[in-house]
Chains A and B, each alone.
Chain A
Amino acid sequence: MIAAAFGDWSDWRGAADLLLLRDYNTRVVVLGATLLGLTAGVVGSFTLLRKRALLGDALAHATLPGIAIAFLAASALGADGKSLPLLLAGAAATGVLGVGAILAIRRFTRLKEDAALGIVLSVFFGAGAALLGVVQQTPTGHAAGLESFIYGKTAAMLSSDAWLIAGAAVACLALSALCFKELMLLCFDAGFASARGFSAGWLDTLLMGMVVLVTIIGLQAVGLVLMIALLVIPPAAARFWTDRLLAMTLLAGAIGAASAFAGAVASAAAPKLPSGAMIVLCAASLFLFSALLGSRRGLIVRYRRRRRFLQRIAREHLLRAVYEATESADSATFARLLEMRSWGAAELRQLIRRARHKELVQRGPAAEVRLTSRGLLEAQRLTRQHRLWEMYLITHADVAPSRVDRGADAIEHVLDPETIDELERLLDQRRLGLPPESPHAIDPAPEEAPR
């Protein structure tokens, strides 16, 4: 095949030839796949946010009857049934019909998106299979290899395919750029879009039209599963990195292009690796990488964000416990702190160590915990917020004083300055800085008394 010309990876000149795309066939395949990855990534971003990620799947299956019909019709009229434009036109026709059916099912029945996609996918594909059964009986049917049309062979891409892809890519990218603002509205708030005078129906049609174009051009070049993967995986991966649509579309395009490039090159280097599968696997690795490390929604970032939040809450609980302990008794010994909340000794010890590290508390001469001046300020602020909220619950929400501690405990960490101002105004508490007296007994907390 293509890669036979290069020998293997150990030959660095072969590798350089490969990466610089010196060979014409490799150049066509790699560039075509890369362009397709780029375009599919951009278009897929919109469909992903519109919650129609699998539209390409349904659409790709819906092209099969069109291909068969085009072939049958052309053969019946004496034309060449295998001519590419004809088959593409047939594919596009039933593809559009399938999309129309999906929209109609969504519009006129109470079935959900997934059911609409599933029905169109399976019924159209069934029709296609039935028609192919007829096609196989025509004299030229076997030679036509229409089935390979849907499973395409990336490595056998011709320069005409690459030009078709380039044309579709330019059209889709230009449309996306021109209608970017409108498509953004459609993705995030279709109701608002129609209120602003953009018809959501037309925008949906435009978006689906782009999906049809990319899918049909891509389908015959790279096959069904790869086409679906290119539409779904890069946008889903890009979503882990950003909350902004523009960044997401660009990134999805880049991820799509990169995985297509890497996959096609890898397949050219090692002829035993099917290029379509390699492209999908490259995209899937990028997806995994993004899912773990993504800077907005990646697992690690989300885990650390959550851990930091929980640590802050625990630290704030410690500071308030120390403050309230020194308020009622003279010193906050470890034993005294331990019975103030339901925390374990090891947990409390670790909390105190962390707080000392942050110079919020220090150990006194009798090993009791003392607030530093910074810690005192912070503790006063927290205790004040806690008690203001308790007083608010008592006076304005009619909650019994013995019950307010829990509620305030949860909310003290997230009160913003405006809310505090409002609470002060409501409760007539203008003594800045110092916390008011606790509205309930602190020692020990009432609901924790019977142990």
Chain B
Amino acid sequence: MTPPPVAWSWELDGWIIAAGALCAVASALLGNFLVLRRMSLLGDAISHAVLPGLAAAYLLTDQRSSLPMFLGAVAVGVLTAFFTEWVHRVGQVDEGASMGVVFTSLFAIGLVMIVRAADHVDLDPGCVLYGAIELTPLDTWRVFGLEAPRVVVVLAAVLLVNALYVALLFKELRIASFDPQLATASGFGAGWMHYSLMTLVAVTAVASFEAVGNILVVAMLVAPPATARLLTHRLGVMVLLSVAIAAASAAAGHVAAVSVPAWFGYRSTTTAGMMALATGAGFTLAMLFAPEQGVVSRTVRRVRLSLRELGEDVLGALYRADESHDTPLAVEELRERLLCRRMPLRLVLLRLQSRGVVRPTDRGVKLTETGVALAAQLIRSHRLWEHYLVERAGMTPDRIHPQAERLEHVTDLAMRRQLDSETSESPTDPHGQAIPQERE
């Protein structure tokens, strides 16, 4: 392949990004439903399996024109989906395995066909599989008086079909993806939806192989929808997000392909590969930082929650120490009472000090006025719960402390009132310690 010029030019790079983004969006649209149906690897399977279709089209027409090859490849792509489903259903073979059996066999048949019958001509499978997106601007068509690369026109048409399909049949696709039985019962065959989707995937994949290479389709069918799946629970939002992610990855990928190798003293590299890599980067970011499901976000939430609970436990411990008149309490003594590690305790104490809740003295820490008020509410929650657990839930006093310890952190004023009204008037909890009064 000819390396594109290092200098950025909208004339060339703009079209390359356009081709990549069109392919990415067209694939991602359909990919949402593949991911939901657990058929993410279909793109990979089709990209290997189209070989016999290409060979057959060549043998039948004896020329390397695009249309017969395209039709042959699409036909075999649909067959791949059909055979996979058939082996899975009729042969009771695990879905992934049936896909593996089907596409490797088809690939082998294609290889034999090519080698046996067409070895005197140049039919390079690699050329099909690695279509060169960098060559996009060189081959142009005139459409509506505008000069546009052929690839961009083809991919735009594919995108239009896919978008119409998803927009018009969105409700049916949703039902068919989540509940095939319901879909069939509602009067539109889930099978019909399945095979129409598979046909479109095959068309998209084959159209893109020739234009931009298979790496890009395989990646765009899986990664943007999977990324979007981590960001939302709603299918409509997921489809829109996946489209945006796919387009952004395409643009970022091309920029990276031109600029990253230059940092190491090389010229630009394969754009399609970089676009696939960009979807991977997007997925990694989502996996780590997705607001609700991200690994880091969940860890941060957990740590913050446990620090908040530790802070409340510190307040409780200081309040109880106040009751038995051994405040101020040395930090080490506090640590032993709470059975926690030093680092989190330090952090929590610093935070409580900055909020003016505890105050350091020369012999240790002590609650301030506001601290006492806060702690009293907490202790009130705790002891009201203990009272409630013995009186209304019939537990024995020696078992209630751990329960109350957990519940005190999630008990607010309204719940304390409820607890108070549902238990008998008592100045002390079952252990005989005073229940602090509610403050306004």
Asked if B177 lies at the interface with its beta carbon under 8 angstroms from chain A, I say no
In the complex, the chain B residue whose C-beta lies closest to that of A52 is: B96
Is B108's CB under 8 angstroms from A122's CB?
no
Asked if A109 lies at the interface with its beta carbon under 8 angstroms from chain B, I say yes
Other than the given A226-B104, A287-B101, 6 more pairs (CB < 8 A) read A110-B293, A126-B215, A134-B264, A147-B126, A236-B97, A281-B105
9 closest A-B pairs by beta carbon, nearest first, are A126-B276, A123-B280, A129-B273, A133-B269, A232-B100, A122-B219, A130-B273, A118-B222, A280-B108
Partner-binding segment picked from B67-75, B111-119, B371-379: B111-119
Asked if B136 lies at the interface with its beta carbon under 8 angstroms from chain A, I say no
A51 partner, pick from B39, B96, B111, beta carbons under 8 A = B96
Is B222's CB under 8 angstroms from A130's CB?
no
Partner-binding segment picked from A31-39, A269-277, A381-389: A269-277
Is B226's CB under 8 angstroms from A284's CB?
no
Interface string of A219-258 (1 = CB under 8 A from B): 0000001101101110110011000000000000000000
Is A122's CB under 8 angstroms from B96's CB?
no
In the complex, the chain A residue whose C-beta lies closest to that of B226 is: A115
**Chain B residues closer than 8 Å to A284, beta-carbon distance:** 101, 104-105, 108
Q: Which B residues from 97 to 130 make CB contacts under 8 A with A?
A: 97-101, 104-105, 107-109, 111-112, 115-116, 119, 126, 130
Partner-binding segment picked from B41-49, B201-209, B316-324, B354-362: B41-49
Known: A53-B94, A54-B100, A133-B270. A123 touches B109 (CB 8 A): no
Q: How far is the CB of A274 from chain B (nearest CB, A)?
A: 5
B223 partner, pick from A114, A119, A127, beta carbons under 8 A = A119
Asked if A24 lies at the interface with its beta carbon under 8 angstroms from chain B, I say no
Asked if B383 lies at the interface with its beta carbon under 8 angstroms from chain A, I say no
Asked if A143 lies at the interface with its beta carbon under 8 angstroms from chain B, I say no
Is A125's CB under 8 angstroms from B215's CB?
yes
Asked if A184 lies at the interface with its beta carbon under 8 angstroms from chain B, I say no
In angstroms, Cα B404 to Cα A315, docked, is 67
Known: A225-B104, A232-B104. A118 touches B221 (CB 8 A): yes
**Chain A residues closer than 8 Å to B130, beta-carbon distance:** 129
Interface string of B208-233 (1 = CB under 8 A from A): 00000001101101110010011000
Asked if A356 lies at the interface with its beta carbon under 8 angstroms from chain B, I say no
Asked if A57 lies at the interface with its beta carbon under 8 angstroms from chain B, I say yes
Task: Supply 21 A–B pairs (Cβ within 8 Å), ascending by A.
Answer: A53-B94, A108-B287, A110-B230, A114-B96, A115-B229, A117-B41, A121-B41, A122-B223, A122-B276, A123-B279, A125-B215, A125-B273, A126-B276, A228-B100, A229-B101, A233-B101, A273-B112, A276-B108, A277-B109, A278-B108, A299-B91
Is A129's CB under 8 angstroms from B270's CB?
yes
Q: How far is the CB of B269 from chain A (nearest CB, A)?
A: 3
List chain A positions with a Cβ less than 8 A from chain B: 48, 51-54, 57, 105, 108-115, 117-119, 121-134, 137, 147, 225-226, 228-229, 231-233, 235-236, 239-240, 272-274, 276-278, 280-281, 284, 287, 291, 297, 299
Q: How far is the CB of B231 from chain A (nearest CB, A)?
A: 11
Is A133's CB under 8 angstroms from B273's CB?
yes
In angstroms, Cα B279 to Cα A357, docked, is 69
Is A121's CB under 8 angstroms from B277's CB?
no
Is A118's CB under 8 angstroms from B269's CB?
no
Is A121's CB under 8 angstroms from B218's CB?
yes
Q: How far is the CB of B89 from chain A (nearest CB, A)?
A: 12
In angstroms, Cα B109 to Cα A231, docked, is 18
In angstroms, Cα B272 to Cα A133, docked, is 10
Asked if B90 lies at the interface with its beta carbon under 8 angstroms from chain A, I say yes
Q: How far is the CB of B109 from chain A (nearest CB, A)?
A: 7
Known: A123-B283, A130-B257, A287-B101. A276 touches B219 (CB 8 A): no
Is B44's CB under 8 angstroms from A118's CB?
yes
Is A114's CB under 8 angstroms from B39's CB?
yes
In angstroms, Cα B94 to Cα A235, docked, is 11
Is A108's CB under 8 angstroms from B295's CB?
yes
In angstroms, Cα B230 to Cα A342, docked, is 54
**Chain A residues closer than 8 Å to B98, beta-carbon distance:** 236
A53 partner, pick from B96, B108, B274, beta carbons under 8 A = B96
In angstroms, Cα B48 to Cα A54, docked, is 14
Is A51's CB under 8 angstroms from B273's CB?
no
In angstroms, Cα B100 to Cα A70, docked, is 29
Interface string of B73-102 (1 = CB under 8 A from A): 000000000000001001111111111110
In angstroms, Cα B115 to Cα A96, docked, is 34
Is A130's CB under 8 angstroms from B270's CB?
yes
In the complex, the chain B residue whose C-beta lies closest to that of A236 is: B97
How many chain B residues touch A (CB < 8 A): the figure is: 64
**Chain A residues closer than 8 Å to B273, beta-carbon distance:** 125-133
Q: How far is the CB of B250 from chain A (nearest CB, A)?
A: 12
In the complex, the chain A residue whose C-beta lies closest to that of B270 is: A133
In the complex, the chain B residue whose C-beta lies closest to that of A230 is: B104
Is B41's CB under 8 angstroms from A123's CB?
no
B93 partner, pick from A123, A132, A236, beta carbons under 8 A = A236
Kindly name the residue among A114, A117, A226 whose own CB sees the greatest number of chain B CB atoms within 10 A. Answer: A114
Is B116's CB under 8 angstroms from A109's CB?
no
**Chain B residues closer than 8 Å to A48, beta-carbon distance:** 94, 97
**Chain B residues closer than 8 Å to A231, beta-carbon distance:** 100
B40 partner, pick from A114, A281, A297, beta carbons under 8 A = A114
**Chain B residues closer than 8 Å to A134, beta-carbon distance:** 261, 264, 266, 269
**Chain B residues closer than 8 Å to A132, beta-carbon distance:** 270, 273
Q: How far is the CB of A147 from chain B (nearest CB, A)?
A: 8
Interface string of B15-59 (1 = CB under 8 A from A): 000000000000000000001001111011000100000000000
Is A109's CB under 8 angstroms from B97's CB?
no
Asked if B389 lies at the interface with its beta carbon under 8 angstroms from chain A, I say no
Asked if B174 lies at the interface with its beta carbon under 8 angstroms from chain A, I say no
**Chain A residues closer than 8 Å to B119, beta-carbon distance:** 272
In the complex, the chain A residue whose C-beta lies closest to that of B279 is: A123
A228 partner, pick from B39, B104, B269, B275, beta carbons under 8 A = B104
In angstroms, Cα B98 to Cα A231, docked, is 12
Asked if B150 lies at the interface with its beta carbon under 8 angstroms from chain A, I say no
Q: How far is the CB of A423 from chain B (nearest CB, A)?
A: 34
In the complex, the chain A residue whose C-beta lies closest to that of B130 is: A129
B108 partner, pick from A54, A57, A129, A229, beta carbons under 8 A = A229
In angstroms, Cα B277 to Cα A84, docked, is 26
In angstroms, Cα B86 to Cα A299, docked, is 12
In angstroms, Cα B109 to Cα A273, docked, is 11
Is A225's CB under 8 angstroms from B107's CB?
yes
Is A232's CB under 8 angstroms from B276's CB?
no
Known: A54-B41, A118-B40, A239-B93. A129 touches B104 (CB 8 A): no
Q: How far is the CB of B21 from chain A (nearest CB, A)?
A: 16
